[in-house]
Amino acid sequence: MYIVKCMPCPWYFHGVCTSPKLPDPTEDVVAVERCTSETAYRGCSLFVEPSNRITKKASPKKERLKIYAPIHAIPQGTGIECPYGEIVNIENGYSIAICKILERPLTKYELPLCNKYWRECPYRAITPI
């Protein structure tokens, strides 16, 4: 008995469409039946073939990040060991840690994990150095 793994749309992540045709990821255009099928997603107007070459995107803009200080704010002077991490100072004297691979802020609970285990990070493993 063989189990065939379904290959969903490469732009579908955690219930959100991340198509390069969209200005921002959104769940508004998601149709789970289409996005998770093996072939139907190719008929979607937002589908584009992913390139084999990974392009490095610029750091996320501070004004577009959704920050919730109780979970994202980190103490001043905190560093990040991962080469794909960045500490960014935002308004009101707060600092946050950004994961450049995920293009999102890390929570203050994720930051120690990224500092300690960045070499084993599965996201880092799929990104060229």
Contacts of 7 (CB under 8 A, 6+ apart): 38
Give the pLDDT mean for 60-74.
Answer: 72
Give 74 or 63, the one with higher predicted confidence. Answer: 74
Q: What is the pLDDT of residue 61?
A: 46
Mean pLDDT of 20-48: 87
Residues 84-108: tens digit of each pLDDT: 899 988 777 788 999 988 888 999 9
pLDDT the model gives residue 44:
92
- Selection from 38, 48, 104, 29 nearest residue 71 by Cα: 104
Specify the pLDDT at position 64: 60
Specify the residue for token string 């959104």: 26
Question: CA quadruple 46, 50, 53, 56: dihedral positive or negative?
Answer: positive
**pLDDT of residue 79 exceeding 70:** yes
